Every structure is written in structure tokens, then in C-alpha cells.
Amino acid sequence: MARGKFIVGTNFKMNGSRAFLQDLVENLNRADLDSNVEIFISPPSVHINHVRQNLRKDIAVGGQNCFWKSSGAYTGEISAEMLKDAGAEYVILGHTERRTLFKESDSHIGLKVASALAAGLKVIACIGETLSERESNTTLQVLFRQLQAIVDHIQDLNQEEKWKDVVIAYEPVWAIGTGRVATPKQAQEVHAAIRRRVEETVEGSVAEGMRIIYGGSVNLGNARQLAREKDVDGLFVGGASLKPEFVEICNVLR
Ligand code: PEP
């Protein structure tokens, strides 16, 4: 499985009015962007359709969550099919805010990943350890447990077909929104370990082709160094994605 382009994605979280997003879209539409980088932005779901209709077509749009059922009596939920219908190509699943604030378990996330892939969405599957887990040397144990739930839930689908649509986002919880970014060495070590784990539990060609991106306090000041690491196949940007510097982060390989 060939590894895709370097990928830069956003997590806007619960931010952005329609007017704010329209400005952001116009800014991206005007920008000179590196065609060697794949970019996606993820507005709140109510704005996906508007953003998709107004954004240049070489940037993908993603949702920030979905439920694992296609339709039915699930008040307030949105299915993967609905995201796709609204124009989304990606969905972010397993973000730490979903895991902690909304009590999503590893197995909920596995179910969501499977349903999103079945609906034809590409998945940004987030995994990450807390500070106390890192300090007690259980980082890999935690990441592998989170990863295994995804592997278990999608094992029935065709191996290469489904994995080409999965991007793993390593997002250390202690780095999210804190200004405390992982060092390039820390990110590289973890990404390489995740790749080895995928090789052991799924398949070598899947591991080789899989894109593993880093998220957690990425900004213009640290993006370039992170992007140089061999197993860092992209960047996942929260706070800085709402600022004009996002365009420069997208062009980090230049
Ligand atoms: C995130 O929440 O996924 C994230 C990467 O946020 P930030 O860049 O603000 O740390």
C-alpha cells in the first residue's frame, strides 16, 4: 500500500460562526498552497455543507464526530452517511475530548471507525496518552489498547481497501491546547512504534502505507521540525488552524 501525500488537517472544534468560516474559506481559496500536501478542514457539522460549497475543491472537508448507526431514534446524533451527504470526505474519531467529556470508550470508537469506513468516509483516528500515563511509562500500552479496538472492529472489511482510508493521529493529551508540544524525537519514537504495532497486528504493507500524523500544540514555530521526522506523515492542527498562520503550516514542506 503506497503512502499518500503528507497531510495537514484541522480540528476547529466547537468554533466558528458561518461568517467567520466564510472569511477563513476565502483566505484559503486565495492562498498559494503546496500541491504535494493534502489538506482537510473540519468545521462544526452544521457548517459542513456551506463550507463544502464555497471552498476550493483541492481541500477536503471533514466532520468532527459521527454515530455508528446509519439512521434511527438517536436524538442529536449524526451518522457517517449524513456527513458524507453534506459533503464531508473525512471524519475525526476518538479525539480525547470525545473520550473524556462524552465518555466514548475504545469500543465506541471502534464501532464509529467501522461505520465511517463503510459509509465511504476517510477516518482520522485519534489516539493519545495522558501526562500521568506518559510519566508512568505506559504510553505505548495505552496507545496500543486504543489502536487494537480499531483493528478489532474493522477486521471484517477488506484489509488494504479499508486501511488506505485510515489516518492515525497521535495526539498526546498533555500536548492538546496546552502549548506544550511533543519534541520531534518524542513524536518520531511513538510514530515508529505505532507503525511497528500495525505491522505486527495487521500487515506489513498496511503499516508501510499508513499515514501517522502528529497533533498537539502544532504551530508555525514547531511544524517544520516535526514534519522532518521520518514517520511523521502529517500534522493535525487545532488552535493554530483558526489563525492566518495555518496557510504557512500547510506549506511546511516547501
Ligand atoms: C486538537 O485538539 O486536536 C489539537 C491538535 O489542538 P491544538 O493544536 O490546539 O493543541
Tens-digit pLDDT profile for residues 186-236: 999 999 999 999 999 999 999 999 999 999 999 999 999 999 999 999 999
% pLDDT > 90, the chain? 96
Spatial neighbors of 40 by CB under 8 A, at least 6 apart, are: 7, 9, 10, 59, 60, 61, 62, 89, 90
Question: What does the block give as the cell for 153?
Answer: 472492529
pLDDT in tens, 131-177: 999 999 999 999 999 999 999 998 876 666 789 999 999 999 999 99
Handedness of CA 32, 34, 38, 39 (dihedral sign): negative
Please tell me the residue having the least CA distance from ligand 1 atom 2. 238
Residue-level pLDDT at 161:
75
**Mean pLDDT, the chain, integer:** 96
Judge whether 94 and 109 are in contact, CB under 8 Å.
yes
Distances (CA, A) of 188 to 84, 120, 221: 33, 30, 18
Q: Is the CB of 94 under 6 A from ligand 1?
A: no
Please tell me the residue having the least CA distance from ligand 1 atom 3. 238
Residue-level pLDDT at 157:
66
Q: Is the CB of 238 under 6 A from ligand 1?
A: yes
Model confidence at 97: pLDDT above 80: yes
DSSP character for 139?
A: H
Find where cell 455508528 sits.
68
38 is catalytic: no
Find where cell 469500543 sits.
107
| Atom number in ligand 1 closest to CA 241 | 8
Q: Which CATH superfamily is 6-250 part of? A: Aldolase class I (3.20.20.70)
Model confidence at 35: pLDDT above 80: yes
The residue among 23 and 156 whose pLDDT is bigger is: 23
Question: What does the block give as the cell for 144?
Answer: 496500543
| Atom number in ligand 1 closest to CA 97 | 2
Tell how far the Cα of 199 is from the centroid of ligand 1, in angstroms: 27
95 is catalytic: yes
Judge whether 107 and 76 are in contact, CB under 8 Å.
no
The pTM for the full model equals: 0.97
Q: Is the CB of 217 under 6 A from ligand 1?
A: yes
